[in-house]
């Protein structure tokens, strides 16, 4: 789960990481109140989960009430790459002497954590990595040992941060690592991490991605989940407990298992179609799950056909077949359904569906045949 900047900053603050004083505002009036509270000048920042806010006019400096009214009014409702701004973050503007970069992520190939620190912040780190890789100090961190202050001190030296910033930066990095590890982040990134003319170091931005597998030990994440601006289809699927990702195509996909679901998308694409979604119904899909899956896909107006691709392992195909029939009793499905059923109890499953097959409930013997049929129907 990606956090908004303001949530990231609130998350940082929990771990004692210095951020600029500020607060959220959903209206121009609230923006004014926050601006007066934190003191002018302030920065009015659009809260959207997409890069390039500044260029799109979503970040503005304001020195007085009139400027806050003007900018807050303009930015609220602004469309930034398809994301409509509903919330602002107003913070006291910082004078910037230097911009640095710091982040922690999992280093998958080495199965350790990876810290990246650079004295060249404020720009995309991918660009720095490409154009001037020596400007990034990489640190491999053993997950068992973590990051201590002594190591962080050597790291800020290696990254050649300004002398005056080093001790504060080292302390901040240790806190950021704690936020990353104890806070169960997939990514904790500060860009820019700034040095002010007064010699203070603090986080001017916050990019945080949380590992949803750790939700069970973070009840406080419920607040973040509530503000997720989701595709309405994804929201509906989540409420029904389905593993669904909305896409732009016309063939609705239902498969069991993440790999098979991904593969189904690929095969639909190979035979000239486009998938409307990724949907993994998991193991042991019963009538309730199948009904929920068909309902979510049926609600997508772009869907023109539905491809149900099941390979029974633990999931028994006869149960899936009964689930489909049961689901069809409960939900009126507007698009034709093409099924491919294989694996455990496939013969029984196909037999159950055989008497019900017609123009809108079609069985194909293989994954490729079924994909072709579904694509043809979607294009008809």
Active site residues: 101, 189
With binding defined as CB under 8 A, does residue 122 bind other proteins?
A: no
With binding defined as CB under 8 A, does residue 127 bind other proteins?
A: no
Single out the segment in contact with other proteins by CB under 8 A; choices: 18-26, 67-75, 108-116, 199-207.
108-116
Residue 194 CA to residue 202 CA, distance in Å, equals 6
Q: How far is the CB of 175 from other proteins (least distance, A)?
A: 16
Phi, psi of 193 (to 5 degrees): -95, 125
With binding defined as CB under 8 A, does residue 222 bind other proteins?
A: no
Of residues 12, 199, 22, the one with CA closest to residue 102: 12
Residue 16 CA to residue 18 CA, distance in Å, equals 6
Burial environment of residue 142 by CB neighbours within 10 A (0 to 12, 13 to 18, 19 or more): exposed
Q: How far is the CB of 245 from other proteins (least distance, A)?
A: 5
Burial environment of residue 219 by CB neighbours within 10 A (0 to 12, 13 to 18, 19 or more): exposed
Among 30, 162, 167, 186, binds other proteins (CB under 8 A): 186
Write the binding mask 129 to 168 for other proteins: x where contact by CB under 8 A, - elsewhere: -------------xxx------------------------
Residue 333 CA to residue 339 CA, distance in Å, equals 14
Closest CB to other proteins among residues 42, 346 = 346
Burial environment of residue 181 by CB neighbours within 10 A (0 to 12, 13 to 18, 19 or more): middle
Single out the segment in contact with other proteins by CB under 8 A; choices: 21-29, 90-98, 152-160, 258-266.
258-266
Residue 161 CA to residue 46 CA, distance in Å, equals 30
Among 90, 208, 247, 285, binds other proteins (CB under 8 A): 247
Task: Please report, for the chain, how many H helices and E strands are present, in that order.
Answer: 13, 18
3-state secondary structure 177-232: HHHHHHCCEEEEEEEEEEECCCCCEEECCCEEEECHHHHHHCHHHHHHHHCCCCCH
With binding defined as CB under 8 A, does residue 230 bind other proteins?
A: no
Among 151, 181, 196, 227, binds other proteins (CB under 8 A): 181
With binding defined as CB under 8 A, does residue 299 bind other proteins?
A: no
With binding defined as CB under 8 A, does residue 298 bind other proteins?
A: no
Q: Which residues form the interface with other proteins (CB under 8 A)? A: 106, 108-109, 111-113, 126, 142-144, 181, 184, 186, 211, 213-214, 216-217, 243, 245, 247, 255-263, 265-270, 275, 278, 280, 283, 311-314, 342-344, 366-368
């Amino acid at each position: 789960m990606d956090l908004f900047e303001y949530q990231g900053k609130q998350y940082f603050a929990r771990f004692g990481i210095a951020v600029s004083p500020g607060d959220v505002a959903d209206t121009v009036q609230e923006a004014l109140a926050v601006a007066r509270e934190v003191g002018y000048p302030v920065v009015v920042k659009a809260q959207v989960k997409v890069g390039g806010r500044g260029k799109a006019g979503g970040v503005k400096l304001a020195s007085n009430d009139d400027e806050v009214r003007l900018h807050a009014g303009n930015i609220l409702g602004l469309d930034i790459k398809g994301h409509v701004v509903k919330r602002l973050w107003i913070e006291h503007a910082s004078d910037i002497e230097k911009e640095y970069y710091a982040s922690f992520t999992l280093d998958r190939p080495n199965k350790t954590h990876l810290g990246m620190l650079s004295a060249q912040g404020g720009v995309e780190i991918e660009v720095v990595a490409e154009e001037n890789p020596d400007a990034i100090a990489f640190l491999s961190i053993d997950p068992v040992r973590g990051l201590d202050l002594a190591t962080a001190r050597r790291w800020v030296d290696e990254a050649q941060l300004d002398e005056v910033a080093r001790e504060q930066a080292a302390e901040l990095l240790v806190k950021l690592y704690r936020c990353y590890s104890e806070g169960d982040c997939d990514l904790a990134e500060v860009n820019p991490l700034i040095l002010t003319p007064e010699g203070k170091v603090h986080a001017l931005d916050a990019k945080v991605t949380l590992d949803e597998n750790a939700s069970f030990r973070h009840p406080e994440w419920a607040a973040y989940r509530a503000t997720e601006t989701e595709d309405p289809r994804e929201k509906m699927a989540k409420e029904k407990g389905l593993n669904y990702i909305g896409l732009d195509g016309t063939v609705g996909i239902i498969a069991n298992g993440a790999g098979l679901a991904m593969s189904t998308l690929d095969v639909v694409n190979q035979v000239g179609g486009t998938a409307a979604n990724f949907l993994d119904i998991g193991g042991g899909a019963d009538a309730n799950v199948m009904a929920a899956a068909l309902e979510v896909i049926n609600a997508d107006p772009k869907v023109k056909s539905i491809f149900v691709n099941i390979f029974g392992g633990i999931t028994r195909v006869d149960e899936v077949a009964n689930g489909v029939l049961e689901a069809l009793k409960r939900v009126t499905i507007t698009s034709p359904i093409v099924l491919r059923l294989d694996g455990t109890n496939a013969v029984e499953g196909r037999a159950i569906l055989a008497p019900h097959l017609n123009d809108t409930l079609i069985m194909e013997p293989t994954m490729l045949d079924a994909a072709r049929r579904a694509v043809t129907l979607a294009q008809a």
